[in-house]
Amino acid sequence: MSDSSLAPWRSLLAGALHRNRSLVYARYFQLATIAPDGSPTNRTVVFRGFLDPGDRVQIITDARSEKIPQLAADPRAEVCWYFPKTREQFRLTGTIEVVTATTTDAALQKARRQIWHNVSDGARSSFAWPEPGADRADAAAFEVAPLDKTTPLDSFVLLVLSVDRVDRLQLRGEPQARQIFTRGSDEKSGWDTREVNP
Ligand SMILES: Cc1cc2nc3c(=O)[nH]c(=O)nc-3n(C[C@H](O)[C@H](O)[C@H](O)COP(=O)(O)O)c2cc1C
C-alpha cells in the first residue's frame, strides 16, 4: 500500500511518534473496552506498530486477561494516547479483532508470530506466568526460562484495532486546535476531516 492511501490522521500520528521518540512512555496508551455488564474498563498497553499494510493498530496481550472475554462480547474499543513533548492527544475509536493461536487468517497469524519473535525475552516469558488476576502464585512460578522465539505460546494474543474515528487535540497554540477524522466519502483517502472547536 502506498503512502498516499494511508489515512490522513496516520501521518499526524507518525509525526507525533517521531517527535516524542525520546520518551519511552510515549509508546504507551490507554485502551478502553466495555465489560459484558456495560461498565467501562481501561488499562495501559504498549503500541506495537501498525499492521502492514494499512492503518490498523497492534497491541499484544494475554489470552487469559479480562479484556479478552470483554472483546468477544463487544469488539468496540477506544485508545487514548497523549504525547507530552508535542502536547497532543489522539483518541482512536474502532473495533478490535482478536488474533489467537487458532486464527486462520494467514496475514494476521504472520503478524502475531512476528511480534512474538521481536519482543524481549522478558516480555515473552510473562506469557508463561501463572494466570493473570488469580490469587498470587509462589515466586517460583514466575521463574521462566527464555522461550522459543518461533512458536508463540497459546496465551499470546495479538489485538488489531481497526480505527473508524480519530479525535486529535493539540494543546499547543492559542486557541488550541482539534480535528475529527471519520471514515467517509472522500474518494482519495476514504476519510472525512473536520476542524472543530477544542
Ligand atoms: C506501562 C504499562 C504497559 C503495559 N503494557 C501492556 C500491554 O502491552 N499489554 C497488556 O495486555 N497489558 C499491558 N499492561 C498491563 C495492563 O495495564 C493491565 O494491567 C493488564 O493488561 C490486565 O488488564 P485487563 O484485566 O483489563 O485485561 C501494561 C501496564 C503498564 C503500566
Residue type, 160: V
Whether 65 lines ligand 1, by a CB cut-off of 6 Å, is yes
The DSSP string of the chain is --GGGS-HHHHHHHHHHHHTTT-GGGGEEEEEEE-TTS-EEEEEEE---BPSSSSPEEEEEETTSTHHHHHHH--EEEEEEEETTTTEEEEEEEEEEEE-TT---HHHHHHHHHHHHHS-HHHHHGGGSSPTTSSPPPGGGG--PPPPSSS--TTEEEEEEEEEEEEEEE-SSSS-EEEEEEE---TTTSEEEEEE--
Residue 126 structural domain = 3-196
User: What distance in angstroms lies between residue 121's CA and the mean position of ligand 1's atoms?
Assistant: 17
Return the ligand 1 atom nearest residue 68 CA: 27
Whether 58 lines ligand 1, by a CB cut-off of 6 Å, is no
User: What distance in angstroms lies between residue 43's CA and the mean position of ligand 1's atoms?
Assistant: 6
What are residue 58's DSSP bridge partners?
160
Q: Whose CA is nearest to atom 14 of ligand 1?
A: 45
Residue ranges, the chain, pLDDT below 70: 1-5
Return the ligand 1 atom nearest residue 61 CA: 11
Q: How many domains does the chain have?
A: 1
User: What distance in angstroms lies between residue 29's CA and the mean position of ligand 1's atoms?
Assistant: 10
CATH number assigned to the domain comprising residue 13: 2.30.110.10
Strands 177-183 and 156-170: antiparallel
The pTM (predicted TM-score) of the whole model is: 0.96
Place of cell 472547536: 197
Whether 13 lines ligand 1, by a CB cut-off of 6 Å, is no
